[in-house]
Amino acid sequence: MVSYEVVSAGRRARAIVAACLTISVAACAGGGGGYGDPGARSLPPGETCQSLRGQLDRLLAKGVQPKVEALSAGRALSARDKADAESYNRILNQYLGARCHVA
């Protein structure tokens, strides 16, 4: 014979597990519900993914990569080189934030 408390505890445990699964599935389906991925950001007015990519390509062709690495490492840069590196980082953040790289 099974006591009432054991049956009740089993039902409560199943209800709790079911509730947790429901919440987990809802959180995954709901796009994060405020957690994790915030979604794509909008592009600045007048910009497109292609225009941002073009700006990044021009800066790379100009030799900005070592400047960006130096800025990231905290090394001293001329004002012009620092401006180029910061510009590259800003444009790259816009490009990635708008999810242009996955479009």
- In the chain, which residues have pLDDT < 70? 1-35, 37, 103
Q: Which pLDDT score is estimated for 41?
A: 87
Among 27, 32, 44, smallest CA distance to 97 is for 44
Compute how many other C-beta atoms are within 10 angstroms of the C-beta atom of residue 67. Answer: 23
pLDDT the model gives residue 103: 56
Q: Which pTM does this prediction carry?
A: 0.62
CA distance 65 to 87: 12
Per-position b or e across 69-91, b if 16+ CB within 10 A of its CB: eebeeeeebeeebeebbebbeeb
Quick one: pLDDT at residue 102? 83
Query: How do the domains of the chain map onto residue ranges?
Result: 1-39, 40-103
Q: Element (H or E) spanning 21, and its range?
A: helix 4-29
Please report the pLDDT score of residue 71 as a whole number: 95
